[in-house]
Amino acid sequence: MLTSAVPLILFALLLFVVLAFGGVVLLSLALRYRAGTARRQGRRWAATMNVWMTSFSAVLFLFVAFLMSFWLGPTLRFALTGMVIGAVLGVLGLGLTRWEVERDELFYTPSRWLAFLITFAITARFIYGWWHIAHPGNTAPSQQHWLMTASATQFSFAVAAGLIGYYLVYAIGVRFRLMRHERRRSV
């Protein structure tokens, strides 16, 4: 009697773990969106630190993409393409950001649509990775779209580079906006 209940208990435990993991993923995506749309006070030291650390991340990331391109083909090309798309979105994000001056301090609220787009890009990358694992290529690469022949690693590099490019351009823009605000305040 006890031996017949063991598979049922293991199945229930596995189902619980899968559902808990799904809940954690959904919660983290919701928190990522919430943090991406929060109103922030512009602080010069924080903006400067963001620019330096994101620049360091971009250089290190591109170096790793360069090294990976020796084994995975055009990984650097995917990373550079993602970085350019992210930079364009960063400029768009700066244009869509709401800037407010209160008590002589600068506050900014990033665009909800761009925060959703970034959260969606991260989600799409995970879904693509699962799809890529579940559906291994069974046709010749010449018959498939370039996106389907890209390895999951190359696609991951493109998405990650897009995020780094976005945050780098956005951090630089926030830093310049703060410098301009401080110049006006001191005059």
- Can you give the residue range of the structural domain that contains 151? 39-186
Question: How confident is the model over 17-25, as a mean pLDDT?
Answer: 86
**Cα distance between residue 61 and residue 68, in whole Å:** 10
What mean pLDDT, rounded, does the chain reach?
84
Comparing 73 with 109, the larger pLDDT belongs to 109
Same domain, 159 and 118: yes
Q: Is the pLDDT of residue 89 over 80?
A: yes
Q: Is the pLDDT of residue 82 over 90?
A: yes
Sheet holding 105-109, edge to edge: 40-41, 105-109, 98-102
Domains contained in the chain, number: 2
Same domain, 57 and 18: no
Q: How many CA atoms lie within 13 A of 163 on its CB side?
A: 18
Q: 20 — phi, psi (to 5°)? A: -65, -40
Same domain, 43 and 32: no
Question: How confident is the model over 67-78, as a mean pLDDT?
Answer: 87
In this prediction, residue 170 carries a pLDDT of 94
Same domain, 8 and 67: no
In this prediction, residue 137 carries a pLDDT of 62
**Cα distance between residue 32 and residue 37, in whole Å:** 9
In this prediction, residue 90 carries a pLDDT of 93
- What tens digit of pLDDT does each residue of 33-72 get? 788 778 888 888 999 999 999 999 999 999 999 998 888 7
Same domain, 13 and 82: no
Confidence at 148, pLDDT banded by 50, 70, 90? very low
Same domain, 54 and 112: yes
Q: 135 — phi, psi (to 5°)? A: -125, 75
- What tens digit of pLDDT does each residue of 121-144 get? 878 887 877 777 777 665 555 554
Same domain, 23 and 47: no
Same domain, 27 and 66: no
